[in-house]
Amino acid sequence: MDALALAAANAATFWVRVAAARGYSVHRGEAFVAVEGDERYGLRVLTLGPTLPPGDVEVIEALAARPGRVAVEDAFGSVTFPAAAMSVRHLPVMIRYPHEPVDAPSIPVRRVETPAQLRIAERLVVDGFALEHFRPWEPGVVFPDALLGPVELFVADLDGEPAGACVAVPEDDAVGVYWVTTMPAFRSRGMGRALMHELLRRYDDRPVTLTASRLGRPLYESLGFERLADASWWTPSQA
């Protein structure tokens, strides 16, 4: 499996595990996965390869035309939509292969192990990412207890306060990293770097993949990540 397919497969694994924890339904095509959630979550479609069979394209187009929240995450440029129907933004998919070890985090980072700790990580992600469709934060809605185990979560503390969090999906061939976030009051103080140092030390035996924001990309590049492609993230134009 090439590196981009590796990253896409891990992303699909992440959302399928989220779906299982939340009780959402999953639809699988030959080269895509779709997770159908509640009204707040909506529908997420992920492509898994550069070439989609015609039947997959038809199903994805029909799913994307549904009312409500829709997101189509396409790392391969496999699908396109009319501008009147869907808007697109491009985010770099990145990978870091095992090489030079990184230093220990300069800020304490702990792995989430209990439901109480999971609530802390959940609040950090909801408020740090400003997930408006999940605000105000309700405990257990975004990260139900069933998510503990299928994914790993980490929290960074500064001055005794939870300040940042992230999610990891370890698999045998790669580790995907998601929702690296810092609370606004603690930004520009090394939280993201500390979280990444902890992850890179923990999973130093296999590739690590992620999709970077514009602001986060310089951090990942400084840690040895390289860009694989710019993924297209499609959402309804009226949203």
In this model, does residue 76 exceed pLDDT 90? Answer: yes
Q: List the domains of the chain with CATH numbers.
A: 3-92+230-236 (no CATH), 109-206 (3.40.630.30)
Residue-wise pLDDT for 9-35, tens only, equals 999 999 999 999 999 999 999 999 999
Q: What is the mean pLDDT of the chain?
A: 94
In this model, does residue 1 exceed pLDDT 80? Answer: no
**Residue 208 tokens, joined:** 């690590």
Q: Residue 100: its pLDDT value, please?
A: 85
Q: Residue 125: its pLDDT value, please?
A: 96
In this model, does residue 239 exceed pLDDT 70? Answer: no
Q: Where are the alpha helices (DSSP H) in the chain?
A: 3-22, 54-64, 115-128, 191-202, 217-222
Q: Residue 214: its pLDDT value, please?
A: 87
Split at pLDDT 50, 70, 90, the class of 167 is very high
What is the value of pTM for the model shown?
0.94
Residue-wise pLDDT for 208-233, tens only, equals 999 999 889 999 999 999 999 999 99
Which residue in the block uniquely carries the two structure tokens 């103080």? 189
φ, ψ for residue 166, nearest 5 deg: -160, 170
Question: Distance between CA atoms of 108 and 98, rounded to whole angstroms?
Answer: 23
Which residue in the block uniquely carries the two structure tokens 């001055």? 159
41-71 burial: b if 16+ Cβ within 10 Å, else e: bbbbbbbbbbebeeebbebbeebbeeeebbb
Q: Residue 170: its pLDDT value, please?
A: 97
Give mean pLDDT, residues 41-45: 95
Q: Residue 84: its pLDDT value, please?
A: 85
